[in-house]
Amino acid sequence: MDTIPSLEELHAFAESLKPHPQGDLIAKTLRQLFAIAAEPGHTRLDWKIIRSTMRDMGTAISAFAPYQHRRKVAVFGSARTSASTAIYQEALRFSERIQELGFMVLTGAGGGVMEAGNRGAGKANSFGLNIDLPFEQDANPYIDRNGKLIDFRYFFTRKLFFIRESDGFAIFPGGMGTQDECFELLTLLQTGRTSPMPLVLVDPPGSNYWKNWDAYMRDQLLGNRLISPDDLELYWYTDDVEAAAKYIQHFYHIYHSSRYVDDLLILRLQVTLSDPYVAFLNIKFADILVSGEIQKSAFLPEEDLDETAQLPRLTLKFNRSSHGRLRQLIDAINDYLPEATRAGVAEEQV
């Protein structure tokens, strides 16, 4: 039976953490645990939840650590889709294609569309994020059990790692779980609680599943002023697998990543934009600025010194509400043609 460490053991452990690069955050985490433990009235169930949550997170962090520099796409859809259906075959082809374009694939590890995702990408290039369910959820055979199959106790920790590890999402027709995943993604993108990412909804040819869903979004949500027109920019639907894969790839054509430093949004790019093109962006997207202009920038001292330090940047004081318009800004950045600038015809582009 586990016992609480002695004061000497705790002191020795604390001393060992002093040189750790993340020692300050570890200390805050431990203090939070100690504070919870000191509060009266917490039940055994409370501590089981804390322990299982930390175990879920620790297992997932360790599994993904060797692949943190690989871009990944999450593939969502029904576990009930049989291999003979057009949906399964399209998910299979999409996963094959997105893997060819350099992305790894994440799925929920089950059957149906999830199986097609792992099967298409292959064991070396896909993960399965499994969940403990009383039905439907045996892990499919196309996942490497030695490191790429991750078992979660809770849906919320599983969802956290889908969001944390994914650089794009492809959603195929599915039931309540699929719709839950889709709307949670849209909520996070709409509110800026996750970084901008491409979300593509994929129908097999001849299907109206996502077409009808899009009509519902436009008629009921937009029509009743429950969302803004720009929110419709947060997703795209298609019945063309190649177009779906290229849609995700193009999102990272020039745009690399983003982060905030205080109230300044930093967009890291893979190409330096010309001055005329930045001027064009300032005209077209002035409505999303709180103040100032979109400006070219180098690495800022407040940023973490990592592999992105050498990338060119744009900085802007974004209003933090117009996330559909921010997505349009990223699209405009990705449509920039460096070769046109070198040829001296930037004016034609803008």
Same domain, 227 and 84: yes
pLDDT at 326 > cutoff 80: yes
**pLDDT (0 to 100) of residue 318:** 99
- Quick one: tokens of 220? 């009921």
- Residues 323, 339: Cα–Cα separation, whole Å: 29
pLDDT at 124 > cutoff 50: yes
214, 218, 224, 227 alpha-carbon torsion, rounded to 10°: 80
pLDDT at 8 > cutoff 90: no
Same domain, 95 and 197: yes
Other C-beta atoms lying within 10 Å of the C-beta of residue 316: 23
Beta strands in the chain (DSSP E): 72-76, 104-107, 126-131, 149-152, 168-171, 199-202, 236-238, 255-261, 264-269, 289-297, 313-318
What tens digit of pLDDT does each residue of 16-37 get? 888 999 988 988 898 899 899 9
Phi-psi sector, 5: left (phi>0), alpha (psi -120 to 50), beta:
beta
**pLDDT (0 to 100) of residue 339:** 65
Same domain, 49 and 87: no
What tens digit of pLDDT does each residue of 32-88 get? 998 999 999 999 999 999 999 999 999 999 999 999 999 999 999 999 999 999 999
What is the CA angle 93-178-322, rounded to 5? 100
283, 287, 290, 291 alpha-carbon torsion, rounded to 10°: 20
What tens digit of pLDDT does each residue of 172-208 get? 999 999 999 999 999 999 999 999 999 999 999 999 9
**pLDDT (0 to 100) of residue 256:** 98
Q: What is the DSSP string of 150-166?
A: EEES-HHHHHHHHHHH-
Same domain, 259 and 120: no
CA 307 to chain centre: 19
- Residues 31, 287: Cα–Cα separation, whole Å: 44
Residue 57: partners with Cβ closer than 8 Å, 6 or more residues away = 157, 160, 161
Greater confidence, 157 or 133? Answer: 157
Beta strands in 5-122 (DSSP E): 72-76, 104-107
Same domain, 91 and 23: no
Greater confidence, 307 or 135? Answer: 307
Rg of the chain over Cα atoms, rounded to whole angstroms, equals 23
306 is a domain residue:
yes
269, 159, 181, 99 alpha-carbon torsion, rounded to 10°: 50
76 is a domain residue:
yes
246 is a domain residue:
yes
pLDDT at 342 > cutoff 80: no
Mean pLDDT over 311-331 rounds to 98
Same domain, 114 and 128: yes
* Contact by Cβ (8 Å): 114, 128: yes
Q: Which of 281, 261, 256, 156 is nearest to 197 (CA)?
A: 256
Same domain, 106 and 241: yes
Burial 67-98 (b: 16+ CB within 10 A, else e): eeeebbbbbbbbbebeeebebbbbbbbbbbbb
Q: What CATH number is attached to the domain comprising 310? A: 3.30.1360
Mean pLDDT over 87-104 rounds to 99
CA separation (Å) from 245 to 135, 208, 327?
Answer: 32, 20, 18
Same domain, 48 and 124: no
pLDDT at 1 > cutoff 70: no
78 is a domain residue:
yes
Same domain, 170 and 56: no
Greater confidence, 137 or 108? Answer: 108
Residue 206: partners with Cβ closer than 8 Å, 6 or more residues away = 86, 239
Other C-beta atoms lying within 10 Å of the C-beta of residue 170: 28
Predicted confidence band of residue 340 (pLDDT cuts 50, 70, 90): low
1 is a domain residue:
no
- Mean pLDDT of the chain, nearest integer: 94
* Contact by Cβ (8 Å): 335, 341: no
Same domain, 153 and 81: yes
153 is a domain residue:
yes
Tell me how far apart the 2 most distant CA atoms of the chain are, in Å: 74
The 3-state DSSP class for residue 276 equals helix
175 is a domain residue:
yes
Same domain, 56 and 88: no
Which residue range is the domain that position 38 belongs to? 7-65
**pLDDT (0 to 100) of residue 306:** 83
210 is a domain residue:
yes
How many structural domains compose the chain?
3
- Residues 105, 124: Cα–Cα separation, whole Å: 10
Predicted confidence band of residue 6 (pLDDT cuts 50, 70, 90): confident
Q: Which of 186, 47, 73, 59 is nearest to 132 (CA)?
A: 59
What tens digit of pLDDT does each residue of 260-313 get? 999 999 999 999 999 999 999 999 999 999 999 999 999 998 887 788 999 999
**pLDDT (0 to 100) of residue 34:** 87
Same domain, 179 and 93: yes
What tens digit of pLDDT does each residue of 229-261 get? 999 999 999 999 999 999 999 999 999 999 999
Q: Which of 185, 216, 251 is the last residue of a domain?
A: 251
Q: Which of 65, 88, 106 is the last residue of a domain?
A: 65
**pLDDT (0 to 100) of residue 345:** 44
Residue 72: partners with Cβ closer than 8 Å, 6 or more residues away = 103, 104, 105, 106, 127, 165, 166, 167, 168
**pLDDT (0 to 100) of residue 346:** 47
Q: Which of 251, 270, 298 is the last residue of a domain?
A: 251
**pLDDT (0 to 100) of residue 291:** 98
Mean pLDDT over 209-227 rounds to 98
Q: Which DSSP state fits 203?
A: P
- Residues 268, 272: Cα–Cα separation, whole Å: 10
Q: What CATH number is attached to the domain comprising 75? A: 3.40.50.450
